Structure 1
Amino acid sequence: MFPDAPMMVLPEQRLRARVHELVPELWQTLGDLVRHRSVNATPDPPLAVTAETIAGMFQDAGITSAHVETITHADKTSAPLVLADQVAHGGLTTVLLYAHYDVQPADESKWTKTKPFVPAEFVDENHDPRLYGRGAADDKSGIVMHLGAIKALRGNLGQLPINIKLVFEGEEETGGSVLESYLAAHPDDPRFHADIIIVADTGNVRVGAPTLTQTLRGIVMADVVVETLAAKVHSGMYGGPVPDAFMALVQMLAALQDRKTGDVAVEGLNTFDHPWPTVSEAAYRSQAGVLPSTSLIGSGTIEKLLYGKPSVNVVGLSGLPLVSGASNVLCPKAKARVSMRLAPNQNPEEAYEALRAHLAAAAPWGLKPTITQVGEGAGFVSGEGEHQVEIENALREAYGAAMVAKAGQGGSIPLVNAFRQANPKSDVVLWGCEEPRANIHGADESVSQSELEHMTLAEALLLQSVMSPIPIQK
């Protein structure tokens, strides 16, 4: 299909110029996507509108196979997926580009720069524009980064000498997507096979510091319910002999951590060692907003605690009214959602069983709590694949840096491990625009324009480096 010819690629400076010219357009596109309230639980408008919008963007960029569909697994139907399988030639390198368009819920009262779904630009102290809005970084920046790389390379070419697949999902933030479970059960599905899989849902250790993410923690989530009474009763008339469900639940939750060190007290969980870059305590405290009076907890270095050890949090509670509506009654039923991050090499099912057993054993006064798993995802440890040199070179050239940091992420992207199981010999690249100042999942989430530009260039350079050697039109 493509004639033999000397390799003629766009010089790095020319490709850099193309990306730079695209930045205003990409910035506008990202702002338009932020306006979509693509929260999976309460989408307004429906997620299908966002998916169709994204598919249209890539069709306009030459990925004419981009379309929206759903998949069904275990009697569950996925949120709309944006998929594409753009085959230039069967013998060429195939690259799969992944991102997600669903976003976290946003409490508007906590935002100070703008409303969550009203994009707003502010220039930081380094004269770098930042776009504020829910999903500006996590993960609509990843979608726009993929779009920009394709547009920069395509230019006036009718077809790129590379096979491109798209997988953009709308359930990543839910804690367990249908796509993840489907792919784990159907690893032979060719729609999800590629030589290189680029997951644009992480970021650099700081703005301007090119970073490859090499490890991800896993996750399990469980709901814990304690019941002690048929209904609320007056604490003066009945308080004392009858246990309060909320007080019982509090004791169980407190047992999840060592009281002195703050380490996770659940027995049988893995830890993982890896040569992650050192994380400065001062920088970590500043980025996390740790109050001066708050001591850090856990045994080991900050990077080990963040990337290689389990952590446990209570992310939801129910059973009591707000303080403003409180009355003197005993709580008959209380519920907590527990989220436990896992070492990258931890089996999630084994971790859940350890968590369940620990909570059950911690129940006081002979109570029998109901413990239900509501989500899980495996961690990930990257390998050194065939295209590792091209991957690192692309990052170095894009940032003009001498070296590339190889870091971990404390968060979880469960689908990555499913991609690995389906593509055991492929390169899995984890990078993106979500550096610490992006404040993903929090109020005033934002993305750096310089990061979007540099990461778009890095991806364009990587794609160009694995293209077929054909002439490039001037």
Structure 2
Amino acid sequence: MASQIDSVLARLDEDVEAGLERLKALLRIRSISTDPAFVDDCRQAASWLAEELQTLGFDARVRPTPGHPVVVAHSPEQSGPHVLFYAHYDVQPVDPLALWQSDPFEPVVRTDANGRTIIVARGASDDKGQMMTFIEACRAWKTVTGRLPVRVSMIIEGEEESGGPSLPGFLAEHAAELGAADIALVCDTRMWDAQTPSVITMLRGLVAEEIEITCAGMDLHSGSYGNAARNPNQVLAEIIASLRAPDGRVAIPGFYDDVDEISPGLRAQWSGLGFDAAAFLGKVGLSVPAGERDRSVLETLWARPSCEINGMSGGYTGEGFKTVIPAKASAKISFRLVSRMDPDKVRKAFRQHVERQLPPDCTVRFTDHGGSPAITVADSGLELGRAIGALSDEWGKPAVITGSGGSIPVVGEFKRLLALDTLLIGFARIDNNIHSPNEKYDFESYHRGIRSWIRVLGALSSPPSDADSGPALP
């Protein structure tokens, strides 16, 4: 297999410029999913992908949904390990257009101020460039060997940038077809640093709540009712203050009941990443970490739950001053979840905590703004270990296992609806300007991303051996 991988890599290096032209063609399609004016462009992107995959021997079709279509493709291989690759062809709007240095949908390859060759266009990194690293890896395998080393299915959606409303229903309807894989692969994340590849195995879940406190039946004059009337702003402030303890822990009873500790090996690896907490906070004008005092900043971001106040309103907030005691005050509050935390259990505990803080004459109304569980892949296992090894071989240094403080809902849907674990392997860099003007993808990320997937697919195809018995972590 090693010599075969070398042959595929060599062919890829010869053909990488042709692959870049294919990426440019896809980047020219204005597949903005949030704007109805681009409905036809989204269909065009889906059709373009299906046709490309058909040329590689995939049974690829554009499938309808209530929103933008989904591309589903299956390779002809009938035996061996089976992977399900996910990506999205839709992109963010380009506003503000005036800040772009070139046409967002006319990709430009140029050298940046650091001497790096970059591809500039909307979607270059998120997610068309990343998606094409996998497709071009499949092309290289097919060109050299006539087949893929593993069975490959793909699902490529067109609504990720607009909330993905159609995908859960589509997955549920086609669970038997798509859930036949052994593992899901997602290429919509970034490397740890410019030369260190990573596999994300932890994604935090989410609970989003809005609360509205009502006291008097109308706004009151603060001179006439001050001291006598309960102020909902004060009540809300006290409730919010009660959510965290002085040591940074969330103070809701039972909040940490289902929170698992990370393994010693993972903690040791994170400690060795060279993460500079002071520089991380300094970039946004801060200096003192606000989370749990007995945890590293990386651990609080990736492996610990959080409670954040996302918005507050109540009373007069316009120009000038108005001496009013408002009738209502509200706040939007989100919780990031980890490990085995149940979104419904967290939501119930939060509401009970709020209700216990309410003084007489006050009522509360709760609004549910959704939730999803955290995703954790064990830091051991055949697929993870082989992916780590393949990435390390390509980049010439050990790949690392990392977490993400954010949430990627599709990964939760894969687990919930298809019973699939997911490996998140991406090659973006932190300065790729995703969702911003002048989005870019480093040519090195694109080229070595393809090479990485060639190695990963080859590694996943090998039969189990004694080398697979150990943990992915050193």
Question: If the length of structure 2 is used for normalisation, what is the TM-score?
Answer: 0.78
8 Å contact kept, 2:278–2:287: no
Matches of 2:242 and 2:108 in 1, distance apart? 43
Matches of 1:135 and 1:247 in 2, distance apart? 46
SS of corresponding position for 1:437? coil
Q: 1:465/1:449 Cα in 2 relative to 1: closer, same or farther (>3 Å)?
A: same
2:16 to 7, 17, 20: 20
Task: Give runs of aligned pairs for residues 24-103 of structure 1, distance below 5 A.
Answer: 24-25=20-21, 28-29=24-25, 31-32=27-28, 35-39=30-34, 43-46=35-38, 49-61=41-53, 62=55, 65-70=59-64, 77=66, 79-101=67-89
CA drift of 1:317 comes to 4.6
Question: If the length of structure 1 is used for normalisation, what is the TM-score?
Answer: 0.78
Matches of 2:31 and 2:281 in 1, distance apart? 27
Task: Give runs of aligned pairs for residues 435-474 of structure 1, distance below 5 A.
Answer: 435-438=429-432, 446-466=440-460
SS of corresponding position for 1:25? helix
Q: 1:89/1:267 Cα in 2 relative to 1: closer, same or farther (>3 Å)?
A: same
Matches of 2:303 and 2:134 in 1, distance apart? 30
Task: Give runs of aligned pairs for residues 399-418 of structure 1, distance below 5 A.
Answer: 399=395, 401-418=396-413
CA drift of 1:429 comes to 1.9
Matches of 1:133 and 1:156 in 2, distance apart? 31
Matches of 1:20 and 1:345 in 2, distance apart? 43
1:189 to 153, 176, 179: 176
Counterpart in 2 of 1:336? 331
What residue ranges of structure 1 are gaps of 5+ in the alignment?
Answer: 72-76, 470-474
Matches of 1:413 and 1:433 in 2, distance apart? 16
8 Å contact kept, 2:86–2:185: yes
CA offsets, 1:412-446, max 9 Å, x none?
2233244235565x663211134433465678765
Matches of 2:462 and 2:278 in 1, distance apart? 47
Counterpart in 1 of 2:249? 263
1:305 aligns with 2:300: yes
Counterpart in 2 of 1:472? none
CA offsets, 1:146-174, max 9 Å, x none?
33333433448876565432222345466
Counterpart in 2 of 1:373? 368
8 Å contact kept, 1:130–1:448: yes
CA drift of 1:70 comes to 4.6
Moved more, 133-142 or 369-378: 133-142
Matches of 1:325 and 1:30 in 2, distance apart? 52
Matches of 2:249 and 2:408 in 1, distance apart? 23
CA drift of 1:198 comes to 0.8
Give the letter for the 1:146 counterpart. F
CA drift of 1:396 comes to 2.2
8 Å contact kept, 1:93–1:467: yes
Counterpart in 1 of 2:288? 295
Identity across the alignment (%): 24
Matches of 1:27 and 1:152 in 2, distance apart? 15
8 Å contact kept, 2:81–2:460: yes
8 Å contact kept, 1:26–1:148: no
Matches of 1:219 and 1:365 in 2, distance apart? 31
Q: 1:21/1:46 Cα in 2 relative to 1: closer, same or farther (>3 Å)?
A: closer
Q: 1:232/1:6 Cα in 2 relative to 1: closer, same or farther (>3 Å)?
A: closer
Matches of 2:108 and 2:150 in 1, distance apart? 36
Matches of 2:374 and 2:203 in 1, distance apart? 5
1:361 aligns with 2:349: no
Counterpart in 2 of 1:349? 344
SS of corresponding position for 2:410? helix
SS of corresponding position for 2:33? coil
CA offsets, 1:72-120, max 9 Å, x none?
xxxxx5x4342323241422543211123456678749x9666996677
Counterpart in 1 of 2:470? none
Q: 1:285/1:421 Cα in 2 relative to 1: closer, same or farther (>3 Å)?
A: same
| Number of residue equivalences | 450
CA offsets, 1:332-368, max 9 Å, x none?
4443322211122322222222222223334455522
CA offsets, 1:6-57, max 9 Å, x none?
9955525414404632463265356436x54333xxx243456325413413
Matches of 2:47 and 2:315 in 1, distance apart? 44
1:213 aligns with 2:200: yes
Matches of 1:262 and 1:26 in 2, distance apart? 50
Matches of 1:317 and 1:29 in 2, distance apart? 45
Give the letter for the 1:395 counterpart. L
CA drift of 1:305 comes to 0.6
Give the letter for the 1:398 counterpart. E
Task: Give runs of aligned pairs for residues 265-284 of structure 1, distance below 5 A.
Answer: 265-270=251-256, 271=259, 272-274=261-263, 275-276=266-267, 277-278=270-271, 283-284=276-277
2:426 to 429, 432, 439: 432
Give the letter for the 1:99 counterpart. A
Matches of 1:304 and 1:69 in 2, distance apart? 41
Counterpart in 2 of 1:314? 309
8 Å contact kept, 2:81–2:150: yes
8 Å contact kept, 1:386–1:427: no
Q: 1:164/1:12 Cα in 2 relative to 1: closer, same or farther (>3 Å)?
A: closer
8 Å contact kept, 1:96–1:197: yes
8 Å contact kept, 2:207–2:336: yes
CA offsets, 1:203-222, max 9 Å, x none?
21111101111222221111
2:240 to 253, 268, 287: 253
What's the RMSD between the two structures over aligned residues?
4.1
8 Å contact kept, 1:207–1:435: yes
